[in-house]
Amino acid sequence: MFREEKTFVLRFSLEALFPEEYEGDGDDYLWLKRWEGQIKPEILKSIFTLLRRHPDLKTHVRNRGISAEEEIEIVIEKDFSKEDPI
């Protein structure tokens, strides 16, 4: 079977700014915990909700050995092997 591929990257860079007198780790990374526990799951849910509107596409998360805190790869697959691609 012949396969064509294209990669699209949507990168989020998280930054937190603190006042000069901040000693570090004082907030116990609450801003990052909010990202991991609330915001990132909401983004992923929204992405999969949108993709489910296209039943001709199969989607799944692929793990390439990188922590989900560092990277989440979403595979979107269109199978033309069972139909005419044109």
Would residue 47 count as lying in a domain? yes
Give 29-37 contacts, CB < 8 A, sequence gap 24+: 36/69
pLDDT of res. 26: 72
CA 29 to chain centre: 21
pLDDT in tens, 10-61: 999 999 888 888 877 777 889 999 999 999 999 999 999 999 999 999 999 9
Residue 52 in domain: yes
**Residue 11 domain-assigned?**
no
In a domain, 4, yes or no: no
Domain range for 40: 30-78
Residue 13 lies in a domain: no
Overall number of domains in the chain: 1
**20 in a domain, yes or no?**
no
Is pLDDT of 85 > 70?
Answer: no
